[in-house]
Amino acid sequence: MHVISKVMPEHDEIYSAWLPHRPPWDLLSRIVDWDGIKILAEMYVSPELPFLTGHFPDRPVTPGVVILEGLTHAGAMLVFLNHPERKDSGVALAKVEKVLFKEALFPPVLATLLVTLKREGRGLYFFEGTVRVDQKVVATAEFVGGAVNWKDR
């Protein structure tokens, strides 16, 4: 990837300056790289996350919705890094077109998320995402993010 910015946002900057989420939904650990079309991020899933308590008690498994939410956060960051003037609005998950969970994500785990912006228009962003652990694909998704004006809500 060609790096546009020399400084990649870390967890605290992502969630204080860019995304509105707060614990336990502050899923991205850091942005590794981005090039305007793709973003590479890391998501550390700790076994202490509250939504893992009952999913499942004897062997916690990261819920698929959490994996999708992580991909959505990475997609939103891609939009905001490309268009910093849009960071006061938002990008929310509008549609999941295809999703495939190939392997379970057992915490503790550091997952790598690669999200590609396929196209955008009329306030919609069309993404493809891949989640890997140790280079092995554990999930893929095609999803749509919609522009949201959080200040009017």
Out of 21, 55, 73, 83, which one is annotated catalytic? 55
- Examine the residue annotation and report whether 55 is marked as an active-site residue of this protein: yes
Q: Residue 109: what residue type?
A: V
Residue 26: exposure state from Cβ atoms within 10 A (0-12, 13-18, ≥19)? middle
- Whether 67 contacts 55, CB under 8 Å: no
User: Looking at the annotation, which residues are catalytic?
Assistant: 55
